[in-house]
Structure 1
Amino acid sequence: MNSTRKRSTPFSHEHSPPRKTRSRNCTFNKEWLHNPEFKSWLAQTPDNNSARCTVCNKTFGVKFDGIDAVKQHAKGKKHIFAMQCKKKSNIIEKFFPTSRSTDQDVVSATELTQVFHAVQHHHSYLSTDCGMKLNAKLFHDSKLSSKMHLGRTKMESLVSNVLAPYAIHRAVDEIKSSGYFALATDASNKGNRKCFPLAVRYFTKTSGLCDRLLDFYEDPDESATGISNHLIQALQALDLSVSNVIAYTADNASVNYGKTCSVYKKLKAIQPNLIQANCNCHVIHNTAKYALKTLSYDVENLVIKVFNEFSCSAKNVTELKACFDFTHQEYHKVLRHVPTRWLSLFAAVERLLLNWQAIKMYFLECGEENCHTVIWSFIKDQEDGMSSTLTLPECYLFFVHSFMAFFSRSIKTLEKDSLTSPELYSVMLDVQKQLQNRREDHFFGFRVNLDLPKLPNEQQRAFKKEALRCFDRALEYLERWFSFEMSPFKSFSCFDFMSIPTLDDITKACEVLQMNERACSEDLYREFCLLKTAMPAIMQMEDLSCSEKWLEFFKNTEAPNLLCIVQAVLAVPCSNAFVERVFSVMNNLWTDERNRLSLPIVKSELCIRYNLMVPCLQFYDMVIKNRHLLKAVRSNSKYTFKKCNSQPIEE
């Protein structure tokens, strides 16, 4: 039986129901972010049905395929190429801090502290730049080290346009709060360039006694008019008034203190109450030089000639060492004496006496023909044999050593930063009394007084006559340049915290300072009574200096009238040692190895060094809290060629 079948065609759906497709709805799984294969580039999107590749900067769906879609994107050619480029190039985060302000602050504060450290220790900018790159290499696991970059240009900009303005602005604010300050300057050559620093001294009830540097400039004009005009212009540029200058300090050259035309006279025409504060270190030094000119034997020239004999000849030094071995002495290098240095003569003479036996033997072996006449005049009496007692020339040598000893001690006292004007009069009075006592007692030094009677009577008389004349000349010069009776420092001595002053003493000091309105104030007596009550306890604090004792008093006592008087008194300098110290530091940082330094950079480094007197470790703690400094470090305006303005950085 044949049956007829109806074929079904692919297009026939009469008897087959339509197929139902199953749709998947996958969402982003946060566990994918921890997968080592994806975590470096995969990121979640607000839409849970998609994911984002941070390397390709592309968003793709995961709704249907889930993790397979992530794997499929990872196998794509564009993604593989992007990942290869990422591995070859440094990550952008390695060079720049993140958007979080704390990271930016730490990087900025660390960079600025590193610059401050380099300035304080005279490190070159190229050396610091190399050190920063080396740190990034050695400490590669440190994110902070890799984000720090200090090239030479950046360091110069931070020094000149961030740190230096901040240091000067900070000092100026303190000066304005003090009211009174003293000016100090001097001139020094750097090659063929004439440099002048502008230094100030002031006292505040918060910082105490301060010596600061406000400017360091070049000016070939060394006339009184040129110097005074530049000082006035520099003060006006810093918004400081010449009327608040209480004293002017410089060396004792006529251009500074001449009777007719000098810097002091021109400043006094503007500020009639200006005090003449000569450099007393120069006074002491010149007193000794002036007195020693009467001696028949030139000890200063002897020291110079002996040094010249051994300064450039290795052969002479070798022969001298042989003399040391023969006399069983330890070799000590002969010191150089510079006539303009305050303390070099005493140190050179002391070293010469320490080596005297070996040096004397050396020159005796050389003979008169091969020995300088100055040196031979000191040793010719011992040509036939070295004497165990002092000869007449050696008496002069030992006398100069004893004579210079107490001068040297006085200069070291005057050079101290902590020495104040109330203490100056006692120091100068001690020098005067030392000279008077030595003259009256005929004291020429213990060794001289011991061996002098062994010399012939004629030689004794000649030596005593010249030595006593030396004391007379020293007293004459000292009293000419320091008026013990009329000196304002005599009136200031009542503030030295060695004894309780009287009200009359304070009144006399006010008259010297032309502050009569303060002396006539009724409140001054009340403050004077508070001072008398507090002084016995403060005077027992022997470890504190005079200025620190006053600081202790004003921290615990409100005495505005007395504070104004003390600020004026303590602002008067005792010497020009601070300015001389600035020149020494200038020579240390402006060396032949750092010959690319410009004068503005030198000025900036000097102002940073002397106006920011904090250790490097504490400097970081100070900077991290200062929002204005941190903002200035990050700003492009710190670069000279990008600066929009030159406003000082506020604290």
Structure 2
Amino acid sequence: MASHAGATGSSSNEDDDILPPPPGTPKRKKGKRKAKYRKEWEKDFKWIDSVREDEFKANCNVCRRQFSVSHGGLTDVRQHASGEAHKKNETQRRSQGALTQFLIRPATPEANMVTAAEVAHVYHTVKHNLSYNSSDCQFKLTAQTLPDSSIAKKMSCGRTKAEALVTDVLAPKAVEDVLTKLKGDGKPLQFSLQTDASNKGNRKMFPLAVQFFTPEEGIEKKLIDFVENPDESSQGIVDSIQCSLDKTGLALDNVSAFSADNANVNYGVHNSVFTKLKQSNSEILRGNCHAHIVHNTVKHALNELSVDVENIVLKVYGHFSISAKRRETLKEFCAFCDVDFQEILRHVTTRWLSLNPAINRLLENWTALKAYFISLGEECPRHLRALLRLPEDAAGVEEEEADLAEVYLLFCSNVLTLFEEVVKKLERDATTSADLYAIMDSFLQRLIKRRDDKFYGYLTRRKLQLLSPHDANRVRQEFTAFLDTAIGYVRKWFNFSDDNWHFHVQPLCLTSGKISYDDMEKIIEKLHLVDRLNLSMDELYDECVTANGVLGHLKGRQDWPSKGTAEKWVEVLRGRAADLPNILAVVSFVLSIPSSTGYVERVFSFMKNKWTDVRNKCSVALIKSELIVTLNYEKSCSQFYTEAVVDTQLLAAARDQKKYKWKK
């Protein structure tokens, strides 16, 4: 075997030891490395920019097309510039420049009203998921129906202009408003990063959102980026996050927590997104989704039941969803059994709140459903007959009898209500990280109480009395095992000890109507906030005295107990933020940490509404801009117009020809 020269220390060429190819073998060409687009080319060629989706291409703003630079790099750019088509287009652009300047709309009061009306109409189109073509049609119709209106006659906004206003005016302004708040007046706010992943066909999309607290608005959740990233590895996600932060000018040092679902790629021990982010910011906290923990608790606990309740829901829905005739037959059975027909609901295994409503709907139709499947006889699907434990004939269907499947459904209906309540609490916008420990502890105690009292639901207890003693004892043991498994799983994945930082931040909920210096000191020491937030512990004592004086007046108000944690702190800090800088810094840090990933999951719901099959040609940049406008602006369309008509900077950007990329 030939040895490598580097290994033996010999100076002979490595190719001397390789056998020559057989006669007649064609000579293999050496592969050439592709050239990538370089940003410095834009200094000499003002008309090109990069193509985000392809680093081997450049975009010509004069010709309005892309061309490859992979073969010759800068030579390809020069070759494109010397082409006849490019020269002709550049000549036309110069000749049209003077005309464009002549026709540009002056910034008169009437022109401002026209521009504001156009921008507000585009905002209305995006907010309500309307098409740009229908918007253009409405402009033309308005001009015809209101011929006396000078504003309506001058308004025009076709599809191209509407898209340009969204991508280059409204969305950048929405992001800039968020960045202005985060960067503050020389003292940036602490914020958390939230992300998730979802598919759009064969494309993997990642939103990047931030959560922060201000004394004026309370908790704010905003979308700052929405990117396509096929690399789902931890390093790929970290690179995408860092790229978005660099683009917006935000620093990772100001990130309080990283929030994502509980997948290993996000929170694995050794090689995850969280561990890689901690290498850059060692104090970043884990803001994983606790609603996900509750959902997984149900999935694990259901494995203790011998009757597959989830499969029953899926199979029954599948039986009726594919046939209108079966649905009509079930309606006839409901009328015969004197039961009000209710549509069978679909359960999606990845949806956290779809199982319990689907079970309740089966129970509402249970008598008719059971009679229907028994009447099918041998035509009844075998798996459904086994799952529902059906008798061989219809005799005694309407009589009071022991029905094992119904007993399990009743138990699940009762106990899943508890899980459903907890998930809804965790996903509420008003829920903060300070409320989290109390919610999870209350959830655990309620599970333990049900297990110790052997309470499985009133209707479940009545049905258990109809079973044989042997079957009833076995069913009770399974119900107890369900609760034991749920309790064990919650304890495993949520830290209920005093070491959990969620335990120490509970005083910030202000349930006692006061905040003590000792409580604030424990929070600060647990989260290592003294140096991180540049706190003055001596001044903090005086601030606590002042805050307690304010709380003494506020807690006497009738609406005080109904307010959430963030709303209470807004009332305390309103007009007093300058007098309570250290308290504000601590509260802003803690309340910037989310309790679940509900916000970024809602981003995908909005994405599906906007990126429909009808709009399948929309670019990622357009969908991103529409999502940012929809989620970051909470104003009504009329409110937006009222503010836009006096926003000279927004109106100037809307009139600027630079919003059309090919006119730069």
TM-score by length of 1: 0.82
- Report the alpha carbon displacement of residue 381 of structure 1 after superposing the two structures with TM: 4.2
Partners of 2:390 and 2:456 lie apart in 1 by 23
Match of 1:288 in 2: 298
Structure-to-structure mapping, 1:269-348, within 5 angstroms:
269-348=279-358
Alignment of 1:197-236 (within 5 A): 197-236=207-246
Matched letter for residue 173 of structure 1: T
> How far apart, in 1, do the equivalents of 2:152 and 2:385 lie?
61
Contact map agreement 1:360 1:379 (CA 8 A) in 2: no
Say yes or no: does 1:551 pair with 2:570: yes
Which moved further from structure 2: 358-367 or 211-220?
358-367
- Could you say if the C-alpha distance between residues 273 and 331 of structure 1 is closer, same or farther in structure 2, counting changes exceeding 3 Å? same
1:594 aligns with 2:619: no
Of the candidates 182, 185, 194, which is equivalent to residue 192 of structure 2? 182
Give the corresponding residue for 1:628: 649
Counterpart AA for 1:506: M
Give, in whole Å, the separation in 2 of the partners of 1:620 and 1:473.
Answer: 55
C-alpha displacement at 1:379, in angstroms? 4.2
1:497-551 deviations in Å (ceiling 9; x for gaps): 2112322221111122211346652110011111111123333423432111111
The aligned residue for residue 400 of structure 1 is 412
1:385 aligns with 2:374: no
> Residue by residue, what CA displacement relative to the aligned partner does 1:335-392 show, whole Å, maximum 9, x if unpaired?
1100000101011111111111221111111125422424543241484322425522
- Which residue number in structure 1 is paired with residue 548 of structure 2? 532
* Residue 435 (str. 1) matches residue 454 (str. 2): no
Deviations 1:201-251 (A, max 9, x none): 000122221000000000100000000111012111111100110001111
- The C-alpha deviation readout for 1:427-446, integer Å capped at 9, x for no partner, is 11111011001000001111
How many angstroms apart in 1 are the aligned matches of 2:627 and 2:106? 35
| Structure 1 residue runs of 4 or more that deviate by more than 4 Å after TM superposition | 96-100, 517-520
1:176 counterpart letter in structure 2: K
Equivalent residues of 1:186, 1:196 under 8 A apart: yes
Distance (Å, rounded) in 2 between the aligned partners of 1:390 and 1:601 = 59
What TM-score comes out, normalization by structure 2 length?
0.80
Worse-superposed segment, 172-181 or 247-256: 172-181
Amino acid paired to 1:497? L
Work out the percentage of aligned pairs sharing the same amino acid: 39
Matched, 1:560 2:581: yes
> 1:505 is matched with which residue?
519
Query: Aligned to 2:506, which of 493, 499, 515?
Result: 493
Q: Secondary structure at the match of 2:465?
A: helix
Task: List runs of 5+ in structure 2 lacking aligned partners.
Answer: 1-102
Tell me, yes or no, if structure 1 residue 483 matches structure 2 residue 495. yes
Kindly indicate whether the alpha-carbon contact (under 8 Å) linking 1:248 and 1:274 is maintained by their aligned counterparts in 2. Answer: yes
2:524 alignment partner AA: C
Distance in 2 separating the partners of 1:162 and 1:100: 17
Letter in 1 for 2:564: S
Distance 1:243 1:358, change over 3 A: same
Larger Rg: 1
Residue of structure 1 in register with 2:473 after alignment: 461
**Cα deviation per residue 1:82-115 (whole Å; 9 max; x = unaligned)?**
xxxxxxxxxxxxxx99857100110011111001
Q: How does 1:366-385 map to 2 (within 5 A)?
A: 366-381=376-391, 383=393, 384-385=395-396
Secondary structure (helix, strand or coil) at the match of 2:207 reads strand
Q: Please give the alpha-carbon distance, in whole angstroms, between the structure 2 residues aligned to 1:165 and 1:97.
A: 22
Larger mean CA deviation between 434-443 and 380-389 belongs to 380-389
- Which one of 251, 261, 267 corresponds to residue 257 of structure 1? 267
What is the alpha-carbon distance in structure 2 between the residues aligned to residue 100 and residue 514 of structure 1?
Answer: 53
Deviation at 1:393, TM superposition (A): 2.1
Q: Which residue of 2 aligns with 1:579?
A: 600
Mapped to 2, the partners of 1:144 and 1:255 lie a distance apart of: 55
Question: 1:179 is paired with a residue of what secondary structure?
Answer: coil
CA RMSD of aligned residues (A): 1.6
3-state secondary structure, aligned to 1:273: coil
Task: Find out whether 1:613 has 2:638 as its counterpart.
Answer: no
| C-alpha spacing 1:364/1:245, structure 2 compared with 1 (3 Å) | same
Query: Deviation per CA, 1:457-488, whole angstroms, max 9, x where unpaired?
Result: 11111111111111111011111111011322
Q: 1:141 aligns with which of 136, 148, 162?
A: 148
What code does the residue aligned with 2:297 have?
Answer: T
Q: Which amino acid aligns with 1:469?
A: A
| Structure 1 residue ranges without an equivalent (≥5) | 1-95, 644-651
Q: Which amino acid aligns with 1:533?
A: G
Q: Distance in 1 between matches of 2:244 and 2:460?
A: 54
Amino acid at match of 1:140: P
> 1:182 and 1:375, CA in 2 relative to 1: closer, same or farther beyond 3 A?
farther
Letter in 2 for 1:158: L
What CA distance in whole angstroms lies between the structure 2 residues aligned with 1:469 and 1:190? Answer: 40
Q: Find out whether 1:167 has 2:174 as its counterpart.
A: yes
Q: CA deviation at 1:453?
A: 2.4
Give a deviation string over 1:404-436, Cα, whole Å, max 9, x none: 111011111111112111111111111101100
